[in-house]
Amino acid sequence: MDFLSPVIDGFGVVFQPENLFYCLLGVTLGMLIGVLPGLGPAATIAVLLPITYNIEPTAAIIMLAGIFYGAQYGGTITSVLLRLPGEASSVVTAIDGHALARQGRAGSALGIAAIGSFIGGTVAIIGLTFVAPLVAGFALDFGPSEYTALALLGILLITTLGTGSPLKSILMATVGLLLATVGQDPLEGVSRLTLGVDQLLDGIDFVIVAMGLFGVGEILYNLESLRRPAEPAAAVGSVYPSRAELGQSKGAITRGSFLGFLLGILPGGGATMSSMVAYAVEKRASKEPEKFGKGAIQGVAGPETANNAAATSSFIPLLTLGIPANATMAIMFGALLIQGITPGPMLVEEKPDLFWGVVNSMYVGNLLLLVMSMPLIGLFVRILRVRQAILAPLTILVTMIGVYTVRMSVFDMFLMVGLGVLGYLMKKAGYEPGPLVLAFVLGSLLESSFRRSMRIFGGDVTGFLTQPITATLLAVIVLIIVVPPVLRLTKRKDPSREKVEA
């Protein structure tokens, strides 16, 4: 009971009028920010840091936390309606979410995303409350070699995302890894693949790649339909998932909750890795994997549940160990320091009101997000009724503004247009951009972790096998590569055996 006393006292902190107001403000801002391509939670929290000087520390952190996990659902909206992911964690949602929207089931896709987000976030908060010290201690065991294996596993899973052939997916992932090397060498500072362009020395930002390939590329591809007779507008459908859709999503939401929680606590994993792994798991677990990429409701439920669970569990290493799990958590770390608070093992004892106030505010924030998002779905899906000739220029305008606000660079806008043309040509040739974008996200983690590992092992590759966690992850990679072909061969042999016996 001594453990539960500060937890219960934390709810008293949350329900103070000021803290409730900032919780509502945070999740509302987060949802709106997620909708706007380019303006992610990391940039927004950085912009709002000066404002937090005049806000009480607990209220300030509650608001910034609300922005972070609120943005995870906001990014779903444009991913489903426009196939325009505002966040890296929403890339995989765009694959089946937009396919459902084109079938007139945008309301169901957004509804199941809201429900999954709420459940995943709540499960992660419960885990954060009861097992934070244990899982945070496990995260400390991850070094460069473990991150290398984790990134390799993620890139391998990427090959399951393409709706075309695995070979095309591998090719796209290779291009994504190549784009991730553009800029300065992370360890030696030497410029690579910049072609003498100074603006590329800092590398290519994720927003530029995602908005170019998914946003501009998709718009250019869809504009071809204007030359053909217009098809009748698809019905939006109910804004609430049917009982059958809820039943189909039940397993995906359950698996996504636990996958997101576990991967979210690992630095370098986070919401993006969690959504990607959840999508791959659902596709492999499905009895009808051919439906993925064409409008499988599990392809929305799994990733959306996982990325919200991961967004919440990523607070574990930050608050209990002072280790930011991702870029947004790094900015949150700075916000805590600005408030005179040092994250770490002593935070629970020295600042129990703040620690449990922030943790318990997530229960309230997730509930507010669910209550707000479900009624607003009807408003969001009206975008589908806007004619493409009007919607395309507006989307291009929002995309341009979003990309420009990242680094205030006109060059980035031209680069995004160039990548958009590439995305259009890829689409015409039957190559999906998803594997490219996700490999791009994991590329920098893979490179830096691998090179640090090789320095630690003195250039001996077999050093990876001496680390228990790394060896386990590598064994999983081998199983993923070997098992599917073996199962396919087994299935081919079974019918012939039956015929012989007959």
Q: How many CB atoms lie within 10 A of CB 190?
A: 7
Q: Which two tokens stand for residue 98?
A: 């937009």
* pLDDT band, residue 230 (cuts 50/70/90): very low
- Across the range 393-415, mean pLDDT stands at 80
Q: What percent of the chain has pLDDT over 90?
A: 6
Say what the pLDDT of residue 53 is. 73
DSSP string for residues in 380-394: HGGGGGS-HHHHHHH
In this structure, what token pair is assigned to residue 496? Answer: 């012939």
Q: Are 302 and 175 in contact (CB under 8 A)?
A: no
How many residues in total does the chain contain? Answer: 502
Q: Which residues pair with 183 in a beta bridge?
A: 192
Instruction: Count other C-beta atoms under 10 Å from residue 8's C-beta.
Output: 11
Q: What is the pLDDT of residues 268-295, one digit of tens each?
A: 556 777 888 888 888 888 888 888 888 8
pTM as predicted: 0.65
Question: Does residue 70 contact residue 271 with C-beta atoms inside 8 Å?
Answer: no
Cα–Cα separations (whole angstroms), residue 447 to 142, 191, 369, 454, 473: 16, 15, 37, 11, 17
222-252 residues labelled b (16+ CB within 10 A) or e (exposed): beeeeeeeeeeeeebbebbbeeebbebbeeb
Predicted confidence at residue 20, as pLDDT, reads 92
Span 97-126, average pLDDT: 85
Spatial distance between the Cα atoms of 218 and 27, rounded to a whole number of angstroms: 29
Q: Collect all residues with Cβ–Cβ distance below 8 Å to 114 and sequence separation of at least 6.
A: 73, 369, 370, 373, 374, 377
The answer to whether residue 434 scores a pLDDT higher than 90 is no
Please give the Cα distance from 201 to 190 (Å, whole number).
9
DSSP state at residue 191: E
Burial degree of 178 (CB within 10 A; 0-12, 13-18, 19+): middle
pLDDT tens-digit series, residues 347-374 = 777 788 888 888 889 889 888 888 887 7
450 token code pair? 């691998």
Answer whether residue 77 shows pLDDT above 60.
Answer: yes
Find the helix packing angle between 298-313 and 91-102, rounded to 10°.
150
Nearest-angstrom CA–CA distance, 343 and 347:
6
Reduced to 3 DSSP states, what percent helix, strand and coil does the chain have, rounded to the nearest 5?
Answer: 80, 0, 20
Q: In the structure, what pLDDT confidence band is assigned to residue 32 with cuts at 50, 70 and 90?
A: confident
Q: Is the pLDDT of residue 175 over 50?
A: yes
CA 292 – CA 310 distance, rounded (Å): 23
* DSSP single-letter state for residue 188: T
Torsion of CA 342, 344, 350, 351, to 10 degrees: 70
Q: What is the DSSP secondary-structure string of 8-70? A: HHHHHHHTSHHHHHHHHHHHHHHHHHHHSTT--HHHHHHHHGGGGGGS-HHHHHHHHHHHHHH
Q: What is the residue-wise DSSP string for 63-121?
A: HHHHHHHHHHHHHHHHHHHHS--SSGGGHHHHHHHHHHHHTT-HHHHHHHHHHHHHHHH
Q: What is the mean pLDDT of residues 466-487?
A: 84
Token pair of 278 as six digits: 């959840």
Categorize the per-residue pLDDT at 338 as very low, low, confident or very high, splitting at 50, 70 and 90. confident
CA gap 155, 161 in Å, rounded? 10
- Average pLDDT of the chain is 78
pLDDT the model gives residue 489: 80
Between CA 45 and CA 71 the distance in angstroms is: 11
Q: How far is CA 300 from CA 110, 175, 324, in A?
A: 9, 26, 27
